[in-house]
Structure 1
Amino acid sequence: MLWIIIALMVFIIQIASIIIVEYRRPNKAVTWLIVLFIFPLLGFFLYYFLAKEYSCQRTLRRKNNRHWKQFKADLINRCNRRITKDMPEANVWRENIMHASLKNITSVPITACNEVTVYTEGEEAYESMLESIAAAKHHIHIEFYIIRDDYLGTRFKQLLIRKAREGIKVRLLYDGIGSRLLGKVFLQQLRDAGVETGCFFPPLVTFFDKRINYRNHRKIVVVDGKIGFFGGLNIGDEYVGKDPKFGYWRDTHFCLTGDAVLWIQYTFLTDWYLVKEQTITDSVYYPIQECPGKELVQIVKSGPDETILELIFSIIVTAKKRIYIETPYFIPDPGVLLALKTAVISGIDVRVIIPAVPDKKLIYNASLSYVQELLQAGVRFYCYQKGFIHAKVIISDNLACSGSANMDMRSFCGQFELNAVFFDGKVVDRLVQDFYRDLSTSNEILLSEFEKRSRIQKTKEVFARLLSPLF
């Protein structure tokens, strides 16, 4: 009898602990309570090690980050000086509510004088990256969530080794979980050639430090501080369509020249500082940009304490005509869910493209649990049929946001991401064209047909949705 009372008291303490810590995030609290009820001891063990709130800013302050704060302010002033009063860009913030929101939500300013290239297939994007790396004169900075030791990974490795031996400074960051299969030999060969490497949150260390649930999902290449790549592509053969399960791989990646590259560089070097504790702010890494382009770009650097959720919400609620979304994972938070419903009720054209074949079944079932609810509201959903769609794009009227962030809770609040906002211009037009082309190879999900799915499938969706705040 005493053991029962003790066990009950321990269980009550565990419940109370979760409620006290997570009271500001009720959806997450309910999810962890469900896990706790299903797995009484294991559930709290997982919660203790996986649910700790992580603050990048506190970590930086603990490492005496005054230098970075001042450097960022100087960089902002430098970019603002490039926007003169006679340029249309000078008044962009006053044009509408969306632009004003972007100014206040993000910590990085809009940049002018950019030129943007959009890639929709991995092969073309990788060839452009490799060509730029091969032409590097001073430094190469690379950061990816996933790096594989396969044919494509070997091409990158060999080129980086060659450039390092030529005397070019090469720095490589990889995520500890995303690149967990990357062998020691692969990394040692890079180090032996002079490439500096860093692991963002090694699994074992961060597990005991309760940070394993926070991953670096960014995909960055910066060459000589003048050319920047980012988007949805990692380094692996599947991203060029060589995975027999998925076949053709549809993604969206970008190449930038211009002032926006300074902020991609800033993102990489602050990550490098977190991992290696090396402060790198020399002017040679932030050269004067001589790009003649006219595109407006705002880099959006997000993480556990610098979330992208407010930005996505603002993009949706300020739309007047259209909201187009492409995402491999669709798990909106309650605010975004309500915003999409409100938009379509207001007569806005809201369309969402998701994969027809999932790569993660549990997350896919969670995504489907939201489909019926939004179909009933009037949102139109499409399943991409040509292969696997990994593009992460949101188009709102004449503005677009794209990069590494998915439309799910992990990208909203738990992962380090890098996106960009593109304003009215050729980039937005190109992304709209890509969206319509993807629609032509997608099948629309009809509510009448979707409601006929089996009870087993519906049960899977209910269970997955209950766990979705953890995804």
Structure 2
Amino acid sequence: MQEPHDNLFGLILPDGLILAFVVLCAQILTSIHILSTKDQVRSAIAWIGLVWLAPVFGLFAYFLFGISRIRRRAKLAREKRGLPPRTGALADPAGISLAGLNANTSKRWIAHDRLAGRLTGMPLAANNQIAPLRGGREAYNAMIEAIENAERSIALTTYIFQADQAGRRFVRALVRAKERGVEVRVLVDAVGNWYGFKPVSNLLRRHNIAVGVFNPARLSWRLAFFNLRTHRKLLIVDGRQGFAGGMNIRKHHLERSDGRPRVRDTHFSLKGPIVNQMMEAFADDWIFTTGESLQGNLWFALHDLWSSGEGCNFMIARAIADGPDEPRQKTAMIIESALAAARRNIKIVTPYFLPNEALLAALEQAALRGVEVQVLIPEKSNLPLFGLAAFASLKPLIRSGCKIFAGKAPFDHTKLMIVDEDWVLLGSSNWDARSLKLNFEFNIECYDACFAKNMNKKVDAKLLGSKPVTIPNLNKRGFFKRLFGRILWLATPYL
């Protein structure tokens, strides 16, 4: 028998009823918070459903992962740098517009530039050089060479930084730079820092390298946004040369002993004023994590912002730093705008493809307009459950005329989007809810026909080694595999 207790109203109730009443109040208050803060109806319904169908688990999960507390910390960090907080207010950024930089630009890209500028608050940067680096060996060699030649400063952030044969090579280069008097800052994600169970942050600290760990898990209020990760991969040297893309630092990106690649990927080398925009993103993350403000000529270089020219050596680009501290999902909105601007073809390469309803609709509309839409995803994902959910969501796209291709092994981690041989998006974002809603990501949009044609050729080469995904092929997948994929697909609102 439960012992009864008096409540505030003088009634005698069993302990179980009191507990049930407390949980009920928590469910009601949580539901009110969800309705007041969530902008997407699917996300709101999903969280409310979890809170009411699985009360204890749902309340705990929402407290940890559903509440965005990170904007307050981001606001304070920007104030320390003397920058205004991100309020969501829209305004045209300072600088020359796309029409001013290229008189031959079509109206659709002029409109897209206006949207991207207002969303990001970033001006266009002209006179950039951006070159693709294929695979870990080529990319790592170029990055190490830049570190070895550094004279003033090095800023490095990445999601995964393993203390393996690839990571230790970077550590040794950073230590040598530190010994030469170069200022070095390294930022690693708390989750990625533990890949391999040997935190590279400890190794760096032993060598007196200034290192920050982004959102570490602690038994405190910080645990509530441990799910929010930095997925950015940036290296900035002397404020003049940068590297960006989707490549982590780990031996997984190097060849096997027989010379065969374990994984395919593409990283990019960048020079020009776009590097300052990269450094802005790093400085934001660094002060957010450590409280130290990085400013001045040590970290930012002077560039000729508005030089005119043509071809791949005079590229027009803009940085897109996005994350859960932002009032809008900037990357998703810019992608949707580019899809709407497409007239001839769209090519997408991504390792993880579970787009939200708005992006799915934009892809279907493009295909129905007669635009050739080609999406390349891995035939076999390195995350098997994600792969099942991804293939379970493809039928509507295929029925609308989108062409989906499955790339054969090795796993392709490349992240790339090309529209009409006019516009290219490169960076760290995947086409899934985690990248577009929860992660801190960094992408770059490029307005350059020469660069777009070169990237098109590389995607075409990838497509040659892939096979089309068709409705009959999807139907041939085992019943339980298809059913389990649809069940996993239902969980995407919680990501």
Cα distance between partner residues in 2 of 1:206 and 1:311: 36
Superposition deviation, residue 145 in structure 1: 0.6
Change (3 A) 1:340 1:63: closer
Structure 1 residues 10 and 334: alpha-carbon distance in aligned structure 2, compared to 1, 3 A threshold: farther
> Which structure 2 residues correspond to residues 34-433 of structure 1 after superposition, within 5 A?
34-36=49-51, 39-56=54-71, 58-63=72-77, 65=79, 67-69=81-83, 80=95, 87-88=101-102, 96-181=110-195, 186-204=200-218, 208-242=222-256, 247-289=261-303, 293-306=313-326, 307=329, 308-397=331-420, 398-433=422-457
Deviation at 1:393, TM superposition (A): 1.2
Letter in 1 for 2:370: G
Pick which of 181-190 and 204-213 moved more: 181-190
1:328 CA drift (Å): 1.0
Pairwise CA RMSD of aligned residues? Answer: 3.0
Secondary structure in structure 2 of the residue aligned to 1:156 = helix
Q: Return 225-234 or 282-291, whichever deviates more.
A: 282-291
Q: Distance in 2 between matches of 1:179 and 1:430?
A: 34
Would you say 1:26 and 2:41 are equivalent positions?
Answer: yes
Structure 1's 208 and 167: CA in aligned 2 closer, same or farther, altered over 3 A?
closer
Q: Is the 8 A contact 2:408 2:466 kept in 1?
A: yes
Shift of 1:339: 1.0
Deviation at 1:194, TM superposition (A): 2.9
Q: CA deviation at 1:187?
A: 3.2
How many pairs align? 465
Tell me, in whole angstroms, the C-alpha distance in 1 between the residues paired with 2:30 and 2:472. Answer: 40
TM-score (norm 2): 0.86
> Is the CA contact 1:384–1:438 (under 8 Å) kept in the aligned structure 2?
yes
Q: CA deviation at 1:344?
A: 1.1
Structure 2 letter corresponding to 1:362: L
User: Aligned equivalents of 2:430 and 2:325: distance in 1?
Assistant: 17
Q: CA deviation at 1:239?
A: 1.6
Q: Amino acid of the residue matched to residue 19 of structure 1?
A: S
Separation in 2 of the partners of 1:447 and 1:64? 49
Which moves more between the two structures, 169-178 or 282-291? 282-291
Please give the alpha-carbon distance, in whole angstroms, between the structure 1 residues aligned to 2:15 and 2:279. Answer: 58
CA distance in 2 between partners of 1:8 and 1:86 (Å): 64
CA displacement at 1:456 relative to structure 2: 0.8
* Letter paired with 1:101: L
> In structure 1, the residue corresponding to 2:424 is in which secondary structure?
strand
Residue 59 of structure 2 aligns with an amino acid whose one-letter code is F
**Does the 8 Å CA contact 1:372/1:451 hold for their aligned counterparts?**
no
Structure 1 unmatched ranges of 5 or more: none
CA distance in 2, matches of 1:59, 1:93: 39
Mapped contact 1:172–1:197 kept (Cα < 8 A): yes
User: Shift in Å at residue 360 of structure 1?
Assistant: 1.4
Contact 2:417 2:426 in 1 (8 A): yes
Distance in structure 1 (CA, Å) of the matches to 2:239 and 2:93? 15
Q: Report the Cα offset of residue 350 of structure 1.
A: 0.9
1:461 aligns with 2:485: yes
CA displacement at 1:8 relative to structure 2: 5.2
Secondary structure of 2:417's match? Answer: strand
Residue by residue, what CA displacement relative to the aligned partner does 1:311-336 show, whole Å, maximum 9, x if unpaired?
A: 11111122111121111111111111
Distance 1:341 1:94, change over 3 A: closer
Given that 2:188 and 2:201 are in contact with CA atoms closer than 8 Å, whether structure 1 keeps it comes out as no
CA distance in 1, matches of 2:73, 2:442: 19
Q: Which amino acid is the alignment partner of residue 266 of structure 2?
A: T
Please give the secondary structure, in 2, of the residue aligned with 1:65.
Answer: helix
Residue matched to 2:9: none
The unaligned stretches of length 5 or more in structure 2 are: 1-12, 308-312
State the percentage of identical aligned residues.
25
Shift of 1:22: 2.7
Q: 1:211 to 1:70 in 2, by over 3 A?
A: closer
Distance 1:287 1:455 in 2: 58
Contact 2:355 2:431 (C-alpha < 8 Å) held by counterparts: yes
Task: Note the alpha carbon deviations across 1:151-201, whole angstroms, 9 max, x for none.
Answer: 001101111111111211111000001222466774344224331111111
Once the two structures are TM-superposed, the CA of residue 296 in structure 1 deviates from its matched residue by 0.8
1:79-124: CA deviation from partner (whole Å, max 9, x where unpaired): 837x899853797888542222222222211100111111231211
**Structure 1 residue 17: Cα displacement:** 4.0
- Aligned-pair CA distance for 1:463: 1.4
CA 207–15 in structure 1, closer or farther in 2 if over 3 Å, else same = same
Shift of residue 225, structure 1, vs aligned partner: 0.6
Separation of aligned partners in 1, 2:343 and 2:151: 46
Distance 1:206 1:353 in 2: 42
User: Measured at CA, do residues 40 and 139 of structure 1 come closer, stay the same or move farther in structure 2, by a change above 3 Å?
Assistant: same
Range moving further from structure 2, 127-136 or 281-290: 281-290
Name the SS for the 1:255 alignment partner.
strand
Structure 1 residues 68, 388: CA separation in 2 closer, same or farther (over 3 Å shift)?
A: farther
C-alpha separation in 1, matches of 2:379 and 2:324: 30
Higher alpha-carbon deviation: 301-310 or 97-106 = 97-106
| Counterpart check, 1:16 vs 2:52 | no
Counterparts of 1:183 and 1:318, CA distance in 2: 45
Which secondary structure state, in structure 2, belongs to the residue aligned with residue 428 of structure 1? Answer: helix
- Against the structure 1 CA distance between its residues 382 and 36, is the aligned structure 2 distance closer, same or farther, given a 3 Å change threshold? same
